[in-house]
Structure 1
Amino acid sequence: MTQSRPHGAPTLRAPTFNDLSESLRSGLKDFSAAPGLGLFFASFFVLAGLLMAGITVLTGTTYWLILAVMGYPLVGSLAALGFYETSKRLQDDDDVTFAAITRSVWTQRGGQLPWLAAIIVVVFLFWFFLGHTIFALFLGLSPMTNVLSTLDVFLSPTGLMMLGFGTAVGGVFAMIVFAMSVLGMPVLLDRDVDFVTAIITSIGAVVGKPQVYLIWGISVAVITLIAMLPFFLGLFVAMPILGHASWHLYQRVTTAEPAAVQNPA
């Protein structure tokens, strides 16, 4: 038995706002079709968020929590692979058991996806470093050990300037990661390409139709941040829908199917 994946980057068309709404509808449909898998992969987001919050609270360094919350959506694509694989198999009427999905995701560890994931992690860590520098520049002389008890610091003129500047810088980092991964990760799952080609393909698509992709990116970020508010529990619903929807958006804008490469099993 052989398995095949199309070779080379796909030909992509410009998305429309209707593609966004239809992708979300398809994402909800896939979550309803495989809720157990959706909840399982979403649990990684929830546990990571709770662990992140718990560490900062226990160590008395909750000022890091703001940086983590602002950067948290950057790493969302790392756990989306399970949603992509589930949607792909549902679309192909393939096996969608827990064993089949997790085995398929695990086999990606030796491919190109870890390289893109590593780049995203590096960007996230650099954002932490830069965010801490921004804190120091604006509030370095302010007595602050716990943002939960010193919120007035952020409401001061200097604090508001820091929040505005930090948000703008964080937005740039988020857009860079979004541009690389919005189509880059689905391409790597679906095609026989290297991670550089996937990144270039994704960035090229975003640059080609920035207004639609910007709305999509903002929508994903806002929904994610809102879902994080009730102790990250909203991510159990938001992440599966958004993850499945991201796969369907990729499928909707893919217009050509290059020749497949046969890999002996």
Structure 2
Amino acid sequence: METTTTRKHGVPTLSAPTIALFRAALRSGWQDFRAAPAFGLIVAFLCLLAGWGLVGLTAWAGHTFWFVLGVFGFPLVAPFAALGTYEVSRLRGMGEHPSVGRVLRVLWAERGRQLPLLCALMMVMLLFWFFLGHMIFALFLGLKPMTNIMSSASVFLSADGLMMLGLGSVVGAGFALLLYSICVIGLPLLLDREVDYVTAMITSIGFVLSNFMVMLVWAAFIAIVLMIAMLPAFFGLLVVLPWLGHSSWHVYAALRSD
């Protein structure tokens, strides 16, 4: 028989993060992935298929700039994809068995709570990133004779191309940092406690701002590892996405003092 748990109300006390804490979380996350890989592999495989679908769509449409936007936008929604691994690690931390069915039931039960509202906000931000990315592209390269990036890569080496890449990188990094600040504590907090999503967002942003440099290191590590994982035809996500998901939960659990 499965054990039911009652969530505590309110925001827990959070301790200061350290690099050593991140290292320990990565080790614990790897242990969780090895002990209960099923759910993480299922979600990662779906992300792999989504990546291939994006490649096929952009090739069919002849506008491979969509693919560039998708690749740089993926880290914006990676925390959403890792939600199930949070629950796996949470259950393992309580000494319980995290079967795929049980994790799915817990996530389904979240539909009436605050978590879907934060996830919806993440999706809106991703769509806005696509819209803004197209505006930046059109501003600098809209009149260039290029329809396919793979066959016209030299356009990026032009003055307009370099300016577009520079501005797009700055704007994309800003989006990623904002969403990271909202979700790094906000998502696991909503899964762990009875709080509203606005409180979770404010708590997460405030925590990142209070510990900015250390949390920036964790953000940079996540972004770099995800980008590297996508290079071999997205296959690296099969390992990296579950590992980072489990590790992110352990970061939150280690910071939580009550």
What is the aligned partner in structure 2 of residue 219 from structure 1? 221
2:124 to 122, 125, 130: 122
Letter in 1 for 2:89: S
202, 205, 221: which one pairs with 2:207? 205
Give per-residue Cα distances to partners, 1:146-186, cap 9 Å, x unaligned: 11111111122221111111001000000000000001000
Q: Counterpart of 2:98 in 1: which secondary structure?
A: coil
Q: Which deviates more, 188-197 or 48-57?
A: 48-57
* CA deviations over 1:114-157 (Å, ceiling 9, x no partner): 10011111111111111111001111111111111111111222
Name the residue aligned to 1:261: none
Q: Secondary structure at the match of 1:4?
A: coil
Contact residue 86 and residue 96 of structure 1 kept, 8 A: yes
- Unaligned runs of 5+ residues in structure 2 are none
What's the counterpart of residue 49 of structure 1? 51
Give the Cα separation in 2 of the matches to 1:155 and 1:107: 50
Residue identity opposite 1:130 in structure 2: L
Whichever residue aligns with residue 81 of structure 1, its letter is: L
C-alpha distance in 2, partners of 1:154/1:109?
A: 44
Partner of 1:176: 178
Does residue 145 in structure 1 map to residue 147 in structure 2?
A: yes
CA distance in 2, matches of 1:98, 1:91: 16
In structure 1, what is the Cα distance between the partners aligned to 2:55 and 2:114? 31
> Where do 1:179-198 residues align within 5 Å?
179-198=181-200
| Alpha-carbon distance between aligned partners in 2 of 1:49 and 1:185, rounded to the nearest angstrom | 23
CA distance in 2, matches of 1:213, 1:45: 25
Give the secondary-structure state (helix, strand or coil) at the position aligned to 1:87.
helix
Helix, strand or coil at the partner of 2:43: helix
User: 1:115 is matched by which residue type in structure 2?
Assistant: L
Aligned to 2:92: 90
Moved over 4 A (4+): none
Matched, 1:163 2:165: yes
Structure ranking higher in helix proportion: 2
Aligned CA distance change for structure 1 residues 226 and 176 (closer, same or farther; 3 Å): same
Can you list the C-alpha shifts for 1:187-241, whole angstroms capped at 9, x where unaligned? Answer: 0000001100110111111001001111111110111111011111100000011
* Distance in 1 of aligned mates of 2:54 and 2:112: 28
Aligned to 1:28: 30
Alpha-carbon deviation of 1:249? 0.1
Q: What is the TM-score with the length of structure 2 in the denominator?
A: 0.96
Q: CA deviation at 1:95?
A: 2.2
Give the aligned length.
256
Matching of residue 66 in structure 1 with residue 57 in structure 2: no
Identity %: 50
Is 1:242 the counterpart of 2:244? The answer is yes
TM-score (norm 1): 0.94
Q: Which residue of 1 aligns with 2:115?
A: 113
- Cα distance in 2, alignment partners of residues 41 and 2 from structure 1: 24
Q: 1:2 Cα shift? A: 5.9
Unaligned runs of 5+ in 1: 257-265
Partner Cα distance (1:28, 1:2) in 2 = 26
Q: Residue in 2 aligned with 1:78?
A: 80
RMSD, aligned CA? 1.1
Shift of 1:36: 1.8
